[in-house]
Structure 1
């Protein structure tokens, strides 16, 4: 019987579209973030495994949850994160919420509305940002709101980039049906080699909604006390804006949306430089910080 370890895809944090615990993050925090990523990657690989029936996927995800929370047998995929959480006195809440998203993936392959997609992002994306902020000791009252907006945008940008692959390989469609209907597009169009104009229009509209979310979370780097984390988030935010803008113009079914490594590094550096330039003035720029802890 397949285990969570046997279901692993081999994908690592280096294969993600956005940086995960880059060297901008202080070494004392990288281990916990990477342990979180590895646990979440194991759950995601279970949900995406085409050889497992939905009920087996859910059983494996339940086993990961029980092992992480200390309610069931140990699992090698859960042990490193459980140790990292114990060392910092953090609860498993955020990782368990991500497992809820993977249970959704095991049982659900279509989304009717934008609000339904955002509900999915509440469990599939927002807990990631919240965990990273908690590891750094950031104030949830100040940072969670804009972080949620940024994380939802990152998730949707990833969905848009991978929409053809998700449909062909997993029969999974994250583009809401109401967005497709609004432009006369259909799910079947995702199987084409090139996106027909109605599908291109639907993807562009969703990319613009992602840009709205990124604008909602634009202040996040300035609201973060840890300078190294603020620079990491600034780089990610800038990369996401560039990708979302690209998706308003490019066809993810037939052409790459990502730029090359050198171009992406330049975009990230610009985000970092702009954040550093604002850093001395952040309390003046954001009144919410005046009442925050020093």
Structure 2
């Protein structure tokens, strides 16, 4: 029986980093950093597969997630899903904080399937998405005081974008709804509408409203590539940001229940290239952009 799974490895879905909606440690990333990012991804993927396993009870999911956490921190037996990340963290002198926050998000998924407000959803993203960006930035030695804020906005947007694209599948297969109840209520939509083959006009209005709020997050994080010292990471994030903007704009007019939101490989590559090219062209002006950003963060009363 699936409920008797004895290790996180047995819950594996088979999904890998090449199957994700956005690039994970693409070859834009310097080779010295890719193993650390992929080790993080594979650890998090193991936890996500546990949380999404349709036949595991919530209690059993928590046990397996706790086992992953204890293996990573050394408070429990070794686990092959945790050892690569544990070794990378030790080699770089990094704490396990970000990975453990992801496990907290998966524990939430095991226990919770509905969100009342946008703020509740952002609270979930603080555990399920923001630590991912922070970890990648920490691996590259970037300054948290400069980059964590806009990174958090982008990561939350990516998470919500995925929720909107998968809203029908999540409801049908996991009875999990990330769309805030307040948004559904505002448009008079019942949760069961997510199980339809095609979104109603009212549900389309809900998705459009949330997509527009997500575009606001992406706008908030748009400065991030210019703030990052590492050029290769800057270009990676620029590509991801551009893809996210295009896909989120698509959700303002497409129905994720009946239409494909993602583009084909050629369009995907072209969109990413546009983000990379734009950032490269701005790179010579990075110091000026940094000064302007610092002034904005300091407040309206500050003058050059």
> TM-score, normalising length from structure 2?
0.94
**How big is each residue's C-alpha offset from its partner over 1:128-157, in whole Å with a ceiling of 9 and x where there is no partner?**
000000000000000000000000000000
Residue matched to 1:159: 163
Is residue 2:12 matched to residue 1:8?
A: yes
TM-superposed deviation, 1:282? 1.3
Residue matched to 1:99: 103
Q: Of 6, 24, 27, which aligns to 1:23?
A: 27
Counterparts of 1:279 and 1:243 in 2: how far apart (Å)?
25
Residue matched to 1:183: 187
TM-superposed deviation, 1:283? 1.3
Residue matched to 1:192: 196
Residue matched to 1:44: 48
Report the aligned-residue RMSD. 1.0
Q: Which runs of 5+ in 2 are unaligned?
A: 296-304
Residue matched to 1:33: 37
Q: Tell me whether 90-99 or 178-187 shows the greater mean CA deviation.
A: 178-187
1:188-227 matched pairs, under 5 angstroms: 188-227=192-231
Is residue 2:115 matched to residue 1:108?
A: no
Runs of 4+ in 1 over 2 A off after TM superposition: 288-291
Counterparts of 2:290 and 2:220 in 1: how far apart (Å)?
14
Count residues with an aligned counterpart: 291
Is residue 2:135 matched to residue 1:135?
A: no
Is residue 2:247 matched to residue 1:258?
A: no
Is residue 2:268 matched to residue 1:245?
A: no
Q: Which runs of 5+ in 1 are unaligned?
A: none
Q: Of 229, 236, 246, which aligns to 1:232?
A: 236
Counterparts of 1:290 and 1:94 in 2: how far apart (Å)?
26
Q: Of 75, 79, 84, which aligns to 2:79?
A: 75
Query: What SS is found at the alignment partner of 2:110?
Result: helix
Counterparts in 2 of 1:288 and 1:73: CA distance versus 1, 3 Å = farther
Counterparts of 2:293 and 2:181 in 1: how far apart (Å)?
40
> TM-score, normalising length from structure 1?
0.98
Counterparts of 2:242 and 2:80 in 1: how far apart (Å)?
36
TM-superposed deviation, 1:286? 2.7
Residue matched to 1:279: 283
Query: What SS is found at the alignment partner of 1:28?
Result: coil
Query: What SS is found at the alignment partner of 2:95?
Result: coil
Counterparts of 1:69 and 1:198 in 2: how far apart (Å)?
47
Counterparts of 1:250 and 1:290 in 2: how far apart (Å)?
38
Determine if contact 1:40/1:95 at 8 Å carries over to the other structure: yes
Residue matched to 1:65: 69
